[in-house]
Amino acid sequence: MHEPTYRQALSSAWQLVWRHKSLWILGLLAIFIGHLGVSNFIGYIWAIADRGLQDPAVFSLPQMVINLPERAWASVALALWLGGILVTLGVMIVFLGIAAQGAMIAYAGDWFKRGRANMAKAWQKGVKHFWRVLGVELIEKLLLGALLLLFGFALRMFLASGTTMSVVFFTLALALVVFVGLAIVAITIYALGYIVIEEEGMVDALMKGASLFWRHILVSAEVSLILMVVDTVLLPVVGAGVFLAFLPSLAIWITAGFANNAALMGIGLIVGLFLWTIFIILAGAIFNAFATNAWVYLFMKMHKEGVASRVLHWFGKAIRRANVG
């Protein structure tokens, strides 16, 4: 049996998501809880660092003063009513996102295992494992949030001090945060695979996910890096999407210019923004489904057949060539 490669994983994931457009809907719903992978976490680190370097005062604790006029208390009932509506919507969004995440994993697992899958059954699996998937997702979000706080603390000390020791501390803290963040994300993905595909309990799934990660640390890092590169490649695609989305607007603006109609100019802008928003949503949904499929493919190969690190493979190949030379 040939050893599975990353190219096979990416190719299989893309073929699945392109042929089965229903996965785009699941990918869209699952966006609300974040797509699988380390890209979001690295993006948060980058955003915190960029914000801190631009304005170091952002890390100081703000002082909040609440001073409501007497008549404002009469609006408490309205605020509670609106809050109840928002909470209800939030619960619905979380439910749909978690169920869609589980359904995507179930669908991909069935497809890669048997060559066929049923969306209705996959959705049933997503709903069935809702609480376990939610529990794992909450644990991941809490741990990643704690890591981001640690990074913010390290960045604050670095900006306040600027000494050699602070630079060393910040570098070590950054490396630790990135590695631990990668471990948390990978273990979460593997645990979700064990829960949805292998029908494991949450605790057992987390333990097996951790064990699988430690056996495939380099593979997990390499896959995360590859998907981050793919995510980065999407940026020029999004840029091209802006141009394409505003092509109809350009036609409307030209017409508005000849007709000297300001209302048409506004309509053109609205049409362009609407089409661009649709494009961004569609691109995010497709990438989310693609990344999930790729992780599921590798998860199934890892705990059934094993996946070797490409870096170690190339390193060993280079050493053998050097010895022969």
The top-scoring range by mean pLDDT among 83-97, 181-195, 231-245 is 181-195
Give me the numbers of helices (H) and strands (E) for the chain, helices first please: 12, 0
Question: Does 276 score more than 50 pLDDT?
Answer: yes
Q: How confident is the model at residue 226 (pLDDT cuts 50, 70, 90)?
A: confident
Nearest-angstrom CA–CA distance, 201 and 96: 21
Give per-residue pLDDT as tens, 118-131: 999 999 999 999 99
Q: How confident is the model at residue 156 (pLDDT cuts 50, 70, 90)?
A: confident
Residue-level pLDDT at 319: 46
Question: What average pLDDT does the segment 202-206 reach?
Answer: 93
Q: How confident is the model at residue 317 (pLDDT cuts 50, 70, 90)?
A: very low
Give per-residue pLDDT as tens, 2-15: 445 677 878 888 89
The full 3-state SS of 186-251, as one line of letters, equals: HHHHHHHHHHHCCCCCHHHHHHHHHHHHHHCHHHHHHHHHHHHHHHHHHHHHHHHHHHHHCHHHHH
> In angstroms, how far apart are the furthest CA atoms of the chain?
87
C-beta neighbour count of 51 within 10 angstroms: 14
Q: Report how far apart, in Å, the C-alpha atoms of 47 and of each of 51, 53, 121, 152, 286 are.
A: 6, 10, 39, 11, 24
Residue-level pLDDT at 305: 60
Q: Tell me how far the alpha carbon of residue 209 is from its chain's centroid.
A: 18
The pTM of the full predicted model, rounded to 2 decimals, is: 0.80
What radius of gyration, in Å, describes the C-alpha atoms of the chain? 24
Nearest-angstrom CA–CA distance, 300 and 198: 10
